[in-house]
Amino acid sequence: MLLAKLMIPESSRHIFTDFDSALEDLRKNVLMMASLTVRNIENARRGLFERDEDWCNTVIADDEEVDTLEIQVDRDGIETMLRFHPVASDLRQVMAAMKMSVNLERVADQTVGIARRARKLNAHVLLPETAETEPLFRHAESMVLDAIKAYADQNTELARTLKPRDRELDAMNRDFANKLTELMPKRPEHIQGYLELIFIARFLERIGDQATSIAEDTVFAVEAEDIRHTQAG
């Protein structure tokens, strides 16, 4: 579905068609990275909630694909700048693709972190508090999906929804960590497990940050407005 959105409309094509091809290839690879990253989040979720070590191991192994694509996008981006000297919106698009690949690679790294912690949790008795990370998972994943959709569709209205949603995720993470910290003295036998869950929530919170960065870069690519480190949604 994402790939269908890659085609550049006839009216905005460049005279130099090689440049269009280069831009399309760049976007294809970024969106491929995005698909793999979303798959990794989904697999990490299954690893945690289905208590399945195989899914956790799959996430850790699949990270390599995302890493490889990150390097590819970097190379393609540099080559595109070298060959075509893009300016204005073209330059912003190349930069957005390169920055997006960095953010996606970081999201994939966070999912590896989640998978590693989930593997440890799965080796012990099920903690009922594990289920309470589900809303954080849902929230973080929906942010990543919408950040990718906003990039693919160049939809800045959707991109601008990410910042307030990130603040909500931050609050959810804070509340969850506070709750587990309070439980620790009461159930010292579960301290290790609670720490793993706090780490998982923290990884999800970081995923939200990276989704927000992708959205901010999309707004810059499309509207040339830099909304980083501002309250602007």
Partner 1 sequence: MTETSARSVDAKHVSPGRPDFLTVRNFDFFYGKKQALFDITMDIPEKRVTALIGPSGCGKSTLLRNFNRMNELIDGIRHSGDIRLLGQSIFDKTVEVIALRRSVGMVFQKSNPFPKSIYENVVYGLRIGGESKKSVLDEAVERSLRGAALWDEAKDRLHESALGLSGGQMQRLCIARAIANRPKVLLMDEPCSALDPIATVKVEELIHELKQEFTIIIVTHNMQQATRCSDKTAFFYLGKLIEFAETQKIFSNPVQKQTEDYITGRFG
Q: Can you give the binding site for partner 1, defined by CB under 8 A?
A: 12-16, 19, 85-92, 224
Residue placing its CB nearer to partner 1 in the complex, 18 or 168: 18
- Give buried/exposed letters for 17-38 (b at 16+ CB in 10 A, else e): eebbebbebbbbbbbbbbebbb
Tokens of 201: 């929530």
Residue placing its CB nearer to partner 1 in the complex, 85 or 228: 85
Q: How far is the CB of 16 from partner 1 (least distance, A)?
A: 5
Q: How far is the CB of 226 from partner 1 (least distance, A)?
A: 11
Q: How far is the CB of 163 from partner 1 (least distance, A)?
A: 21
Residue placing its CB nearer to partner 1 in the complex, 118 or 227: 227
Q: How far is the CB of 15 from partner 1 (least distance, A)?
A: 5
Sequential DSSP letters for 97-159: HHHHHHHHHHHHHHHHHHHHHHHHHHTSPPPGGGGGGHHHHHHHHHHHHHHHHHHHHT-HHHH
Q: How far is the CB of 86 from partner 1 (least distance, A)?
A: 7
Residue placing its CB nearer to partner 1 in the complex, 14 or 149: 14
CB atoms within 10 A of CB 117: 24
Residue placing its CB nearer to partner 1 in the complex, 88 or 125: 88
Please state, in angstroms and rounded to a whole number, the distance separating the CA atoms of residues 76 and 22: 8
